[in-house]
Amino acid sequence: MEEFYMKVAIEEARKAEKIGEVPIGAIVVFQGEIVGRGYNLREKDQDPTAHAEMIAIQEAAERLGSWRLIDCDLYVTLEPCPMCAGAIIQSRVKRVIFGTLDPKAGCVGSLMNLLQDTRFNHQTEIQSGVLQQECSDLLTQFFRGIREKRKEAKRNRVLDQSNA
């Protein structure tokens, strides 16, 4: 069941990839139904808060008519950052299922675990590593593609200069 929903989150991530955004996708599930979907839109919208999880949470809250996403599960391809972990706490999401770890900014186990810090007024169940390889490959391939494009652009600049 977790893999089924993670595949939908991966579909969201692929939408980001197609428009040159870092491929991260998220969905919110309530009673088996997908009530929110989101993918990273930071560059397109030039909005620092337009992460996949934020968009999925906002859509779910609108759909359910409540800021409290009680009994909702959030699936996301990458471990949430502090902002998204904070939004998960704020919205009282019951369970977070994520694909792969983010050792640089992940706040659900990597750098810290905001979702199970008992000083906050809400704690969340966590499941990690669902379709980990696929979620990780999405990102690795995206960044490899960027590096290759940069190298090619540099090569072309050098060629242009030597021909000038």
Question: Does 101 participate in binding a second copy (rule CB under 8 A)?
Answer: no
* CB of 117 or CB of 137, closer to a second copy: 117
Question: Which residues, numbered 33-52, are part of the site for a second copy (CB under 8 A)?
Answer: 42-43, 45-51
Q: What does the H/E/C string look like for 62-112?
A: HHHCCCCCCCEEEEEEECCCHHHHHHHHHHCCCEEEEEECCCCCCCECCCC
Question: Does 71 participate in binding a second copy (rule CB under 8 A)?
Answer: no
Question: Does 81 participate in binding a second copy (rule CB under 8 A)?
Answer: yes
User: Interface with a second copy by CB under 8 A: which residues?
Assistant: 42-43, 45-51, 54, 57-58, 61-62, 65-69, 81-87, 89-92, 104-105, 107, 111-112, 114, 117, 119-121
